[in-house]
Amino acid sequence: MDVTRREVLSRSGTLGLGIVVTGTLGALFAANPAAGSSGPEVGYGPLVPDRRGILDLPRGFRYRILSREGDQLRSGGGNVPSRFDGMGSFAGPARTTLLVRNHECRVGVPHPVRAATTHTYDPMGPGGTSTLRVRAGSITQEYVSLAGTYVNCAGGITPWGTWLTCEETEDPPPGSTMSHGWIFEVDPFDHARNAGPTPLTAMGRFQHEAVAIDPRTGVVYETEDAFVQPFGLFYRFLPERPLGGHGSLRAGGTLEAMRVRDLPDLSLVQEPGTTFTDIEWVRVPDPEATTTSTRLQDYGPAGITRGQKLEGAYWGDGSAYFVSSYARDNEGSSANHDGQVWRYDPRASTLELVVVFGYDPAEQVTEGPDNIALSPYGGLMVCEDLGGDNYVLGTTAAGETFPIARNRLNIGSDAEPEYGEFAGAAFSADGRTLYFNVYNPGTTFAVTGPWARQSDS
């Protein structure tokens, strides 16, 4: 069955929040040695209003604000850049956590990303990444790790411990002579390796959102966030040097786009559990889009499969999960929904719809799920990107969704409340801390609490 987001959240004080996830997610709840748990049975209970009016969490949970845009960087000078988006978490030395955070900056943001010329791709580009070192709940180091890129949205972690940051644009910033729309690799452990930023051109030039990498084969899965027609594609990149470590993706490879036979538009699928077995991968004629955008290129008489706003991606349970944030028929989609999560299993060569939020026109919602991650306690975690209230949601092994956090920073605010989305959810390696961002005003949170709690009772 599918439910609307309103139905899910209106039942947030009850044991069930509405079944929206199919039973195939049960494999995501295998016990994790680091977490020592197989996940919550019914979530963590209703959210408790925050007296500070910043972040609502379940009973027993606490948050700490690690970083805010505009504050002084802890290392390297300058200010913390604006527009916090996707983020990766890495186990650092001496019980530290390293976070690499995207800044989806366009021209005119209050605090563009700035760094030395050695670590800047394009002087006209206001986007990039920052790296944070966290120990015992506090930042001990914070610096710009990549500058001169543009509209850095999401990305993904590589099996060898680096971050792939993705530009969500095909256009250069005004006055620039550099091309944009690329993926860049950022090393959180060795900043010297980030000198001379090099676009990974073979991985395609398009409106990137996120990537997920198969740790067994090294194949990279990529999403394209196109919200106007023609909508985006789901890609895979076959590297020449799979699993080759830092810099290996510069060796090139083959970029392909997914075609599901007789399914031109993912929005047509409305029933969770629907599975497709007739999957083809079609070579992208010109990955660098020298004259024509990759989604506009010729994929033969059978065409290609598209989805409106393909966003977050994550690897888990031997599969690549990815999001279609929403679909609207009045914007060109074949059907309406308020969010889908898809699972591609490369071994079985199957594509399955595992999560769907049904469309409710009374909600007047324009966007839904965005970044996704896998909790060490089981199930998927979904960051919302909406025009109103935004939540971080979790899933139980029984197939129910539940709220983990609610953003209060942007409620009742005149400062671009539509940019109060959550992004970048990622746990520390020991499973004790959940990190995530609010996009604007850029804020990074660390949340701790009884993650192993099995119920809300």
Q: Is residue 371 part of a domain?
A: yes
Q: Is the pLDDT of residue 366 over 90?
A: no
Size of the chain in residues:
457
Look up residue 96 and give its DSSP letter: -
**Residues 326, 339: contact at Cβ < 8 Å?**
yes
Q: Is residue 115 part of a domain?
A: yes
pLDDT tens digits, one per residue of 271-300: 988 999 999 999 999 999 999 999 999 999
Q: What are phi and psi of 5, to 5 degrees?
A: -60, -35
Q: Is residue 453 part of a domain?
A: no
Tokens 């991985």 belong to 203
Q: Is residue 390 part of a domain?
A: yes
pLDDT tens digits, one per residue of 318-361: 999 999 999 999 999 999 998 898 999 999 999 999 888 878 77
What is 409-427 written as a DSSP string? SSTT-SS-GGG--EEEEEE
Sign for the pseudo-dihedral over CA of 82, 84, 90, 93: positive
Separation between Cα atoms, residue 168 and residue 122, nearest integer Å: 16
The token duo for 162 is 């680096």
Buried/exposed 334-371: b ≥16 CB within 10 Å, e otherwise: eebbbbbbbbbbbeeeebbbbbbbbbeeebebbbbbbb
Q: Is the pLDDT of residue 13 over 50?
A: no
The β-bridge partners of 220 are 213, 237
Q: Is residue 346 part of a domain?
A: yes
Comparison of pLDDT for 255 and 19, the residue scoring more: 255
Q: Residue 88, Cβ neighbours under 10 Å: how many?
A: 27
Q: Is residue 55 part of a domain?
A: yes
Domain at 13, CATH number:
2.120.10.30
Q: Is residue 455 part of a domain?
A: no
**Residues 253, 239: contact at Cβ < 8 Å?**
yes
pLDDT at 42: 72
pLDDT tens digits, one per residue of 313-328: 999 889 999 999 999 9
pLDDT at 330: 94
347 Cβ contact partners less than 8 Å away, ≥ 6 residues apart:
318
Can you give the residue range of the structural domain that contains 384? 5-448
Q: Is the pLDDT of residue 99 over 60?
A: yes
pLDDT tens digits, one per residue of 103-113: 999 999 999 99
pLDDT tens digits, one per residue of 376-389: 888 888 898 876 67
**Residues 84, 101: contact at Cβ < 8 Å?**
yes
In a 13 Å sphere around the CA of 438, the CA atoms on its Cβ side amount to: 28
Percentage of the chain beyond pLDDT 70 is 86
Closest by CA to 171, choosing from 225, 125, 209, is: 125
pLDDT tens digits, one per residue of 441-454: 999 999 999 998 75
Q: Indicate the residue type of 167.
A: E
| pLDDT band, residue 15 (cuts 50/70/90) | very low
pLDDT at 454: 59
The β-bridge partners of 443 are 68, 438
Comparison of pLDDT for 179 and 421, the residue scoring more: 179
The β-bridge partners of 127 are 149
pLDDT at 27: 59
pLDDT at 387: 65
pLDDT at 385: 83
pLDDT at 32: 57
User: Is the model's pTM score more than 0.85?
Assistant: yes
Report how many domains make up the chain.
1
Separation between Cα atoms, residue 21 and residue 400, nearest integer Å: 6
Q: How far is CA 449 from CA 37, 146, 416, 434, 456, in A?
A: 14, 33, 31, 9, 13
**Residues 188, 98: contact at Cβ < 8 Å?**
yes
pLDDT at 40: 65
Separation between Cα atoms, residue 370 and residue 376, nearest integer Å: 19
| pLDDT band, residue 24 (cuts 50/70/90) | low
pLDDT tens digits, one per residue of 191-238: 999 999 999 999 999 999 999 999 999 999 999 999 889 999 999 999
Sign for the pseudo-dihedral over CA of 320, 326, 329, 335: positive
Q: Is residue 152 part of a domain?
A: yes
Task: Give the mean pLDDT of 252-271.
Answer: 97
pLDDT tens digits, one per residue of 119-148: 999 999 999 999 999 999 999 999 999 999
